[in-house]
């Protein structure tokens, strides 16, 4: 018995020894983490018995010992323990570690929120270089007025004219199911409340029970998606963030902006129609490489969003009717209310409140009652269009554009102000007006994205049908000439007799859907792989041919290195066309892609190319008197352009935001940005504050000698990156063997395939699986490859360059951000783990290649530290360092488990000796339930239990790295 007790205590003791010391007084992370772990291990023992709990502890201890000395023998010992488990047990163990990592992440979130609360009470943001990672709107306004000597009026003016448009995309990187996200949210709430100061003993006991219940419920939920989501599923998942946090988050945030303005002496509020924050979406509109997004899907998604918006307004309008019970009103409102009162005689029994006719001495309620009727009809009409394709509710009785909806609300607002009731008008009515201005009737604007090649196919079919030649074979000049003559003419190009393949019909039907639905459903039409002006003109012509009354703005997307370099010239050619200049009304949007450029040339060269392309594009736009909006397609991981929002915006070249910014929020980043009320608030605040600061206090321009040095480095880095990734004849083979790339598709994360073309090498692999695979093996190759060679080249050439690089790191935000992000990735990496994958999975003649890459990794890391003048990784960020140390032991177990599972899946001759089944089940009658777990996946191509174990390790590691792709 004594040994047992000692063993039980060991994981906590272990944690306390391993756990880094407190970083500061308010540091409760280790405490939170230990509490959640304790609870979880007790539950594990109750459910699956002591032996299983001991196995989990043994694995944890071996990992922790490995983390201490990085002795590869420990990894083998760990491998032996893991491979001796039978299929059911190995699923339980993988699930346990994956779950413990999720809990560690939750402890971290609670700790971050706790420290932020303490800080804002003290009003002290100084200790954590917080200027670099945090942007509080109040701080920013005070800094602009105080240190940077802007007048409050200037700041107010800039603020109310700026727009941040956040574009939610369904990129397949959110690997956690929504069922689990909700349970995690409740665990987070319980944990935060348990540590509140004024908690009564009874309540503490109830919270503790609730915490245990939620931890157990999450552990007992199947983590694996058994079917791939459809685009409609993705859209519904994305929209769920609106009714959970964003809907109420926006007016709440705008109130905070009002308060911050008051504190710098501005007596006015931000006008409710100032477009500070806008939301757009790609879910159900992005058809690039995703054949499942059909025109019908696009139509469904728009109608569903309209129905949801009407429903949310409808659920709020009665509260507003309760609030506005005043009888004094302006003459203008009185006239309208009397008219409405005369025309409405009947009771409405399908309403809960205010169902009888509203008396004329409550004029605001009369007006709002009419708004309520229209909202009801708007919702029901969308509902029946969605389910039956037709509706018997006439369109006249609904709202068709946002102006009609705003008009009566503005009337109420004006009237209240006129009667001296401005404080009442600035209550819920103002919040409601702000919601209507932000979300409109369509909730979000849907962008459409399509590949330029598909438009060329359509044009080709048209020119062949008209018997004037093959558009595809024409030169760019010839194409432009023909497109422009058609655009300036009036005749229709083709009728219903145009011979169409399925692909062509799909493109044209998409344009017809855009023509059929209300214009406020849509945002931009984005052309991926765009290279020349004809790509843009072709879309303009197709919009006209399909009778789109208000054409969508057409946005070229430049991604690959060569395209980025050619982008400024292409855009300049576009602006030189007179027809086009008249069409765009002085505004143009251009999208730049971060992930494909990184996959194509490596991170360093891609970041620099993106920086230079933006500078050049802004110049071109200025020369032509066009206001340019940059649309940044950045992913969540560093390899795909991710990183802290604030830094990312402030490191953009000067003059590129001009108060208007569009950014994609992808996959798992949506949850990190909007998963909870305080996260949503922080996200809106970061984007708004950083955009304002960038516009009013732009970062410095790099010195000419810095540019020259980076230009030289980028060439070397690209050369090194491509010589390995594209030119090394056996690289693809090595990549497929050394990482779980081939198995990635089984995770069912997204609706789109992981490749653009089924055959093909690295080029056709989507950027997300490419990054995902290297993140799993903790090697992160795409992020750092090329940096080392570039640094070494310039430092060997002249040691003075080292000093110049150090100066660039200190003085130039762009360079600093690029280096810091790579440093963070090194802190998450571990070449020892990558070596284990090689040893188990890669054929022996490729071992030297893997060793060479690992040598390159170490050399790059050391050069990086030299430039940042750090002795250790992350010495500038002790908090992050502590959090990573805490996660490492969990991740290592999962990595080892993954490597050995891949070995068992891929190598039929690899035999392991299984020990007897250890997981006990709670109900003796089903003593075979770890075996039941194996049956959740009856159709696997692999030996029982292996596929599930593999997917659980993938999800666990992704959660631990906090990045999937």
Q: Which residues are catalytic?
A: 171, 599, 640
Rounded to whole angstroms, the Cα distance separating 474 from 380 reads 50
Please, are residues 777 and 739 in contact by the beta-carbon 8 Å criterion? yes
DSSP state of 758: S
Instruction: For the beta carbon of residue 946, count every other beta carbon within 10 angstroms.
Output: 20
436-460 as b/e: b if 16+ CB within 10 A: bbbbbbbbbbbbbbbbbebbbbbbb
22-34 as b/e: b if 16+ CB within 10 A: ebeeebbbbebbb
Helix (H, G, I), strand (E, B) or coil at 904: helix
753-771 as b/e: b if 16+ CB within 10 A: bbebeeeeeeeebbbbbbb
The residue assigned the tokens 């321009």 is 701
Please, are residues 597 and 781 in contact by the beta-carbon 8 Å criterion? no
Instruction: For the beta carbon of residue 774, count every other beta carbon within 10 angstroms.
Output: 24
Assigned token pair, 440 = 């409109």
Listed in sequence order, the DSSP H helices in 195-276 are 201-219, 231-241, 247-262
87-102 as b/e: b if 16+ CB within 10 A: bbbbbbbbbbbbbbbb
Assigned token pair, 450 = 């399509």
Q: How far is the CA of 756 from the CAs of 172, 451, 740, in angstroms?
A: 14, 11, 19
Q: Residue 403: CB partners within 8 Å, gap ≥ 6? A: none
Nearest to 168 by CA among 229, 90, 238, 223: 238
Helix (H, G, I), strand (E, B) or coil at 515: helix
Helix (H, G, I), strand (E, B) or coil at 443: coil
Rounded to whole angstroms, the Cα distance separating 581 from 864 reads 46
Please, are residues 442 and 521 in contact by the beta-carbon 8 Å criterion? yes
Rounded to whole angstroms, the Cα distance separating 74 from 17 reads 18
Query: What does 214-237 look like in DSSP terms, one character per residue?
Result: HHHHHHTS--S-SSPPPHHHHHHH
Q: What are the residues facing 448 on neighbouring strands? A: 525
Listed in sequence order, the DSSP H helices in 576-676 are 578-584, 595-601, 603-623, 645-650, 668-674
Instruction: For the beta carbon of residue 796, count every other beta carbon within 10 angstroms.
Output: 10
> Which backbone phi and psi does 841 adopt, to 5 degrees?
-115, -20
Helix H or strand E segment including 947: helix 946-961
Instruction: For the beta carbon of residue 585, count every other beta carbon within 10 angstroms.
Output: 10
Rounded to whole angstroms, the Cα distance separating 273 from 532 reads 36
Helix (H, G, I), strand (E, B) or coil at 522: strand
Nearest to 56 by CA among 35, 86, 31, 78: 78
**With helix as H, strand as E and coil as C, how does 9-57 read?**
HHHHHHHHHHCCCCCCCCCCHHHHHHHHHHHHHHHHHHHHCHHHHHHHH
**With helix as H, strand as E and coil as C, how does 157-171 read?**
HHHHCCEEEEEEECC
Rounded to whole angstroms, the Cα distance separating 159 from 173 reads 33
Would you say how long the chain is, in residues?
Answer: 965
The residue assigned the tokens 């590129």 is 656
DSSP state of 755: B
């Amino acid at each position: 018995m004594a040994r047992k007790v000692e063993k039980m205590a060991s994981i906590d003791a272990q944690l306390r020894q391993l756990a880094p010391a407190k970083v500061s007084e308010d540091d409760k992370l280790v405490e939170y983490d230990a509490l959640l772990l304790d609870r979880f291990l007790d539950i594990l023992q109750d459910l699956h018995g002591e032996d299983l709990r001991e196995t989990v502890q043994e694995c944890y201890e071996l990992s922790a010992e490995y983390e201490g000395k990085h002795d590869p023998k420990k990894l083998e010992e760990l491998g032996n323990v893991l491979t001796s488990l039978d299929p059911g047990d190995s699923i339980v163990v993988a699930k346990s570690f994956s779950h413990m990592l999720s809990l560690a992440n939750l402890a971290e979130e609670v700790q971050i929120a706790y420290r932020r609360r303490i800080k804002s009470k003290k009003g002290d943001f100084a200790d954590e270089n917080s200027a670099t990672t945090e942007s509080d709107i109040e701080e920013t306004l005070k800094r602009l007025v105080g240190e940077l000597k802007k007048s409050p009026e200037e700041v107010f003016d800039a603020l109310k004219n700026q727009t941040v448009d956040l574009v939610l995309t369904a990129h397949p990187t959110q690997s956690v199911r929504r069922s689990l996200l909700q349970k995690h949210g409740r665990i987070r709430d319980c944990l935060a409340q348990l540590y509140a100061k004024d908690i009564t003993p009874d309540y503490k006991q109830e919270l503790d029970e609730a915490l245990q219940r939620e931890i157990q419920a999450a552990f007992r939920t199947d983590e694996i998606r058994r079917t791939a989501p459809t685009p409609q599923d993705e859209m519904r998942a994305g929209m769920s963030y609106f009714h959970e946090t964003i809907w109420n988050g926006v007016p709440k945030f705008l109130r905070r902006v009002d308060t911050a303005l008051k504190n710098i002496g501005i007596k006015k509020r931000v006008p409710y129609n100032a477009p500070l924050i806008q939301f757009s979406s790609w879910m159900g509109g992005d058809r690039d490489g995703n054949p499942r997004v059909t025109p019908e899907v696009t139509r469904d998604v728009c109608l569903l969003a309209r129905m949801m918006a009407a429903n949310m307004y409808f659920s709020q309008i009665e509260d507003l009717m309760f609030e506005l019970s005043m009888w004094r009103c302006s003459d203008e409102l009185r006239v309208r209310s009397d008219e409405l009162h005369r025309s409405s005689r009947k009771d409405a029994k399908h309403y809960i409140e205010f169902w009888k006719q509203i008396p004329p001495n409550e004029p605001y309620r009369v007006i709002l009652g009419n708004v309520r009727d229209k909202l009801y009809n708007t919702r029901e009409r969308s509902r029946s269009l969605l389910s039956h394709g037709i509706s018997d509710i006439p369109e006249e009785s609904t709202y068709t554009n946002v102006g009609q909806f705003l008009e009566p609300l503005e009337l109420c607002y004006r009237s209240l102000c006129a009667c001296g009731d401005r404080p009442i008008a600035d209550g819920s009515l103002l919040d409601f007006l702000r919601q209507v201005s932000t979300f409109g009737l369509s909730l979000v604007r849907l962008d459409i994205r399509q590949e330029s090649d598909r438009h060329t196919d359509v044009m080709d079919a048209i020119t062949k049908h008209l018997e004037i030649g093959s558009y595809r074979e024409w030169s760019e000049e010839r194409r432009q000439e023909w497109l422009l003559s058609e655009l300036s003419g009036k005749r229709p190009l083709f009728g219903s007799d145009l011979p169409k393949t399925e692909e062509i019909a799909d493109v044209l039907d998409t344009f017809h859907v855009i023509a059929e639905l209300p214009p406020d459903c849509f945002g931009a039409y984005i052309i991926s792989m765009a290279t020349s002006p004809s790509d843009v003109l072709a879309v303009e012509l197709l919009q006209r041919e399909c009778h789109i009354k208000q054409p969508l703005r057409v946005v070229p997307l430049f991604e690959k290195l060569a395209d980025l370099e050619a982008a400024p010239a292409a855009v300049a050619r576009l602006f030189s066309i007179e027809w086009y200049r008249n069409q765009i009304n002085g505004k143009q949007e251009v999208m730049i892609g971060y992930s494909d450029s990184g996959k194509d040339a490596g991170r360093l060269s891609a970041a620099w190319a993106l920086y230079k392309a933006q500078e050049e594009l802004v110049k071109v736009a200025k020369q032509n008197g066009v206001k340019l909006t940059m649309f940044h397609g950045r992913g969540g991981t560093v390899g795909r352009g991710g990183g802290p929002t604030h830094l990312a915006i402030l490191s953009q070249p000067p003059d590129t935001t001009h108060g208007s910014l569009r950014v994609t929020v992808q996959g798992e980043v949506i949850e990190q940005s909007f998963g909870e009320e305080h996260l949503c608030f922080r996200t809106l605040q970061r984007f708004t504050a950083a955009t304002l600061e960038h516009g009013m206090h732009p970062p410095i321009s790099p010195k000419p000698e810095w540019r020259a040095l980076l230009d030289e480095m980028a060439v070397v880095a690209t050369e090194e990156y491509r010589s390995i990734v594209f030119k090394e004849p056996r690289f693809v083979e090595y990549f497929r063997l050394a990482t779980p790339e081939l198995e990635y598709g089984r995770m069912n994360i997204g609706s789109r395939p992981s490749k653009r073309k089924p055959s093909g090498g690295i080029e056709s692999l989507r950027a997300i699986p490419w990054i995902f695979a290297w993140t799993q093996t903790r090697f992160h190759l795409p992020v750092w490859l090329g940096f080392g060679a570039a640094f070494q080249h310039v430092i060997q050439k002249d040691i003075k360059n080292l000093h110049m690089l150090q100066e660039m790191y200190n003085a130039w935000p762009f360079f600093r951000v690029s280096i810091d992000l790579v440093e963070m990735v090194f802190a998450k990496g571990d070449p020892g783990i990558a070596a284990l994958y090689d040893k188990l999975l890669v054929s022996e003649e490729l071992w030297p290649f893997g060793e060479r890459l690992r040598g390159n990794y170490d050399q790059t890391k050391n050069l990086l530290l030299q430039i940042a003048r750090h002795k250790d990784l992350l010495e500038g960020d002790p908090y992050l360092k502590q959090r990573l140390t805490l996660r490492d032991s969990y991740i290592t177990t999962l990595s080892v488990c993954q490597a050995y599972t891949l070995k068992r899946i891929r190598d039929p001759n690899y035999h392991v000796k299984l020990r007897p089944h250890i997981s006990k089940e709670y109900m003796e009658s089903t003593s075979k339930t770890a075996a039941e777990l194996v049956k959740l996946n009856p159709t696997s191509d692999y030996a029982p239990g292996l596929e599930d174990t593999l997917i659980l390790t993938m999800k666990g590691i992704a959660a631990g790295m906090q990045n999937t792709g």
